[in-house]
Amino acid sequence: MHGSSTQARLVADAAPARAMALAAAFPLAACRGVQSALDPAADEAARLATLSIVLFVGGAAIFVAVTALVLYAIFAPPARRRWLADRRAILIGGIAVPIVVLTALLVYGFIVLRVAHAPASEGALRIEVVGEQYWWRVRYPAEGEAEAFATANEIRVPAGRPVELVAMSADVIHAVWIPNFAGKVDMIPGRANRLVFTVERPGVYRGVCAEYCGDQHARMAFDVVALEPGAFAAWRQAQTAPAREPATEFLEGGRILFIRNGCGNCHAVRGTEAGGQIGPDLTHVGSRRTIGAGQFPNNVGTLAGWIADTQHLKGGARMPSYGSLTGADLRAIAGYLESLK
């Protein structure tokens, strides 16, 4: 009995300390992650993170110094703080120091940003990303042996090679932001803005739309996968291929239903008669990690749910709900799409 109550007291005593340790770790934990500007995975984001830290530390130092001076001016004995009213103190502290400090930070900022805006080097991989209400069209132009292809809501890049991301818009202003890789860049109709970065660390990251673009702006995200060069080449090769032939009668039924319900008017499935260009290319939709522009994990269940009630899951998306499809038909269409690896 005695032992357990001591133990209880020890646990109770440790609780505040543990809570404090947790509270201290929390902001640090928030810096890590798939969508964090403070956890850089590419050169450009690393430069921006360093710039942010230098500006923050500089600002904090100035804040502390000014606060100390204010407290001194209020609480020091009048005889000792008289020098504060001296003309020289004002000239140095009020004019000379701010000019030197701000000029130094400004020049440093210019140097960092000039490197960041340097044109892409020769061998950069060009990827065109088009913002649409409320999803991302992604195009890989032909390059050497590799043929051009389109995909959606997912960008894959090789690690160690410069990437030139060309940002465009099909309707209103969007902005593309992959915090772990680089800063934001606006997607403006009729313009092509560029973003250049080299990914240093393979992994899975997340990008978002960073400019309000309508009802579902908040549900306009995408997956970013950085691969080793070999794995990237294999992925690119697989994406240029036409869609897989259905392997079973059930999946063949799904393909027929896909065409019969008019899905092909908006979606392309290369290698079939579906050639629509209004919505995302679905040729290899089964190989993507998520659907609905980064909203739902990609599996037969979420695919069926998406098709049956698009407007409930993402009200305002430019795709109608297909609530009148029977369960069997939904399963077949979703199964077919899931098989398109």
Give the binding site for ligand HEC (CB under 6 A): 134-135, 152-153, 216, 258, 261-263, 265-267, 278-280, 285, 288, 291-293, 303, 306-307, 314, 317-319, 322, 333, 337
Please, what is the minimum distance in Å from the beta carbon of residue 129 to ligand HEC? 14
Closer by beta carbon to Cu ion, 120 or else 165:
165
Nearer to ligand HEC, 98 or 301 (CB): 301
In the complex with Cu ion, the residue whose CB is nearer, 207 or 254, is: 207
Distance in Å, CB of 317 to Cu ion, minimum: 12
Cβ closer to ligand HEC: 153 or 180?
153
Which residue lies nearer to ligand HEC by CB, 232 or 258? 258
- The distance of closest approach from Cβ of residue 9 to ligand HEC in the complex, given in angstroms and rounded to an integer, is 55
Least distance to Cu ion from the beta carbon of 314, Å? 13
Largest CA distance in the chain: 96
For 99-144, give the DSSP string: HHHHHHHHHHHHHHHHHHTPPPPTTPEEEEEEEETTEEEEEE--BT
Three-state DSSP class for residue 205: strand
Give me the DSSP letters along 143-199: BTTBPPEEEESEEEEETTSEEEEEEEESSS-EEEE-TTT---EEE-TT--EEEEEEB
Partner from ligand HEC, Cu ion, none contacting 267, C-beta within 5 to 8 A by type? ligand HEC
- Residue ranges in contact with Cu ion by CB under 5 A: 174, 209, 213, 220
Is residue 134 reached through a cis peptide bond, with omega within 30 degrees of 0 on the bond before it?
yes
| Complete DSSP assignment for 261-326 | TTGGGT-B-BTBS-B--SS---TTGGGSSEETTTTEE-SHHHHHHHHH-HHHHSTT-SS---TTS-
Q: In whole angstroms, how close is the CB of 259 to ligand HEC at the nearest point?
A: 9
- What is the closest distance, in whole angstroms, from the C-beta atom of residue 138 to ligand HEC in the complex? 10
Residue 79, helix vs strand vs coil: coil
Q: By C-beta, is 41 or 210 nearer to Cu ion? A: 210
Among candidates 216, 142, 141, which has minimal Cα distance to 174? 216
